[in-house]
Structure 1
Amino acid sequence: MLVQMYTQDHKGQLPGPLRGGQDPRYPYSKNNPQQLVHYLDDYITLDTTVEDTSRAKIMICPAFVQEISHIDVRCYEIRISKLRMLNGKVEAPFGYPSRGGEEAADPPKMLASIADPSKDWMMQDLDKIGTPSYQNDPFTPEGPVHGSVRNTLFFDGHVEALNAL
């Protein structure tokens, strides 16, 4: 819902460019435009109860924190892989940041340009099986924190518990 609100306020454009793992800490995200919280801070309430660091509770999965026992972790991954657009091209919906700074190597796309928003996932639970690039991260669980499923948000705004095994 927050991403839809953002796109309505930004002429249909998705937030970004974004990297995969999403951090809930606001001071980190405020200074890091490659994190979703950086773009959504006008739409959410931040919790500042832990060590004077603001966190977006909506970006913290309780099951993930229970398994990892750490609150400053990336619980979710945003889709950085490419998908089919209405124009027939296959592109990364949130774009991708350049290696040198804030400028986009590939800018974010328009939400309405996604060919099948009800079938293309936007964000999902992060674990080492589903996201192999996190294999060496000590704060990433080995497998899905919800048993055999991953909670998955789609571009049309609906959420499903998808079979992960």
Structure 2
Amino acid sequence: MYHTWMRYFTPSPAHHRLGLACLGVGLQHGLLPTVGPRTLDHHVAVVISSGGGWFRGPDGRRTTVTAPALIWLTPGTRHHYAPDPDTGWDECFVDFTGPATTTYTELGYIEPTRPVVPLSDAAGARAVVARIARAARRGNPLLEVETGAAVHELLV
């Protein structure tokens, strides 16, 4: 059994020009289903805060994922991943896009060649994702600006 909550957004062209636009946010835990194989047209940061599982990138190699960890899903890159089927994991994720992703990648904040990144602690990343989730309340007139700004914070 698993629990999930997610919201997806459609930012305007003006919001995209801010550099980063948040496309979605989600919180999930438990015995989550396998994801993929699939390829996306945008970035996703998946933060694993407890549990473990596996990740498989375009090279076909299976990498063990042990919390706390960050999984980078980058545009045009085939991926496939899942939590351990017996124990599951807790994850939160943020979908995002924008021209600033190129600069964050050049500066080493987004690592397409290192899709699974061990973290010393997931609390900071989870706090940013929680802030995005709070901004996702229905009727928030600042939704796109608040969530976009939080994506910048998540990346650093």
Scaled by the length of structure 2, the TM-score of the pair is 0.26
Higher strand content, 1 or 2: 2
Report 1 or 2 for greater relative contact order, CA contacts < 8 Å, sequence distance ≥ 6: 2
Scaled by the length of structure 1, the TM-score of the pair is 0.25
